[in-house]
Amino acid sequence: MNKLFAANWKMHKTQAEAASTTSDLARLCSSLPAGREVLLIAPFTALAATKAAISEAHHFALGAQNFYPATHGAFTGEISPAMLMDCGASYALSGHSERRHILGETDAFVGEKTAFGLKAGLKMILCVGEKLEERKAGQLTEVLTRQIRAGLSGVTADCDAESISVAYEPVWAIGTGLVAGPTEILEAHALTRKLLVEIFGEKGRQVRILYGGSVKPDNAAEIIALDNVDGVLVGGASLKADDFSRIVLA
Ligand code: PGA
């Protein structure tokens, strides 16, 4: 399975900035090692500009940060999966901690979105992770089990496992500079793999498990080499082409 290097640009970058970062990345990563894939998860308004800049570097995929689980209708301010695909996106996130904890998205809504996006033809990255107080209270297993089971509850057993990734992103490590250590990552990813096999059977081994939370050029190589780490989801360090290229090539 190829390792996925995903840049989550969050609420950053105008169209011109997205296009220039993408072109710089394409140049810096022109000799991408075999077995690696790059995914740029741009804000809605920069999807088309990012896509246009990607055509120079056909090994990059485009993703969106969010959508509403309906084909169309009276949902002011929302965007459908078909609209994202129309802009060239082939991936989308669901369950990112900022949407769970700032925008109030529930496990049930995240599950609905994951299933809807897959049915609509998007590859989905379901994000899960515990808050610091949950970790301190010894609730890691409980939180991950609940978020993964709910997040995948609408996904049917005949799904294409390669269209699904789960990103383990401990909330306390996102944007804080605190990175989970190898032991913590190994434990959470092994638990995630076990749950995926319980849910999908042997197919659960083809689901990619990404790590996210303060991944930087100087820790990426160690993280990506760990068991059950099939890629990384990078926020802050993905904003500059130079930093992100050093992660991709680590
Ligand atoms: P970070 O964000 O790399 O800035 O910690 C990761 C994420 O939110 O996906």
Q: Among all residues, which ones are annotated catalytic?
A: 96, 169
What separation in Å is there between the alpha carbon of 238 and the centre of ligand 1?
9
Tell whether ligand 1 has an atom less than 6 A from the beta carbon of residue 215.
Answer: yes
Is residue 179 within 6 Å of ligand 1 at its C-beta?
Answer: no
Query: What's the pLDDT score for residue 140?
Result: 97
Residue 44 has pLDDT above 90, yes or no: yes
pLDDT of residue 55: 74
CATH number of the domain enclosing 64:
3.20.20.70
Provide the 3-class DSSP secondary structure of residue 200: helix
Query: Are the C-beta atoms of residues 232 and 215 closer than 8 Å to each other?
Result: yes
The number of distinct structural domains making up the chain is 1
Q: Is the CB of 33 under 6 A from ligand 1?
A: no
User: Which of 156, 165, 157 has its CA nearest to residue 93?
Assistant: 165
Instruction: List, for residues 206-227, the tens digit of each pLDDT value.
Output: 999 999 999 999 999 999 999 9
Give pLDDT tens digits for 79-127.
999 999 999 999 999 999 999 999 999 999 999 999 999 999 999 999 9
Domain region containing 232? 3-248
Q: Which tens digits make up the pLDDT trace of 185-209?
A: 999 999 999 999 999 999 999 999 9
Helix (H) or strand (E) holding 100: helix 97-101
Q: How confident is the model at residue 175 (pLDDT cuts 50, 70, 90)?
A: confident
Look up residue 35 and give its two tokens.
């077995």
Three-point CA angle 206, 108, 160, nearest 5°: 20
234: Cβ below 6 Å to ligand 1?
A: yes
Q: For residue range 50-60, list pLDDT tens digits in order.
A: 999 997 666 79
Torsion of CA 142, 144, 146, 147, to 10 degrees: 160
**Candidate from 91, 166, 233, 243 with most ligand 1 atoms within 8 A of CB, to mutate:** 233
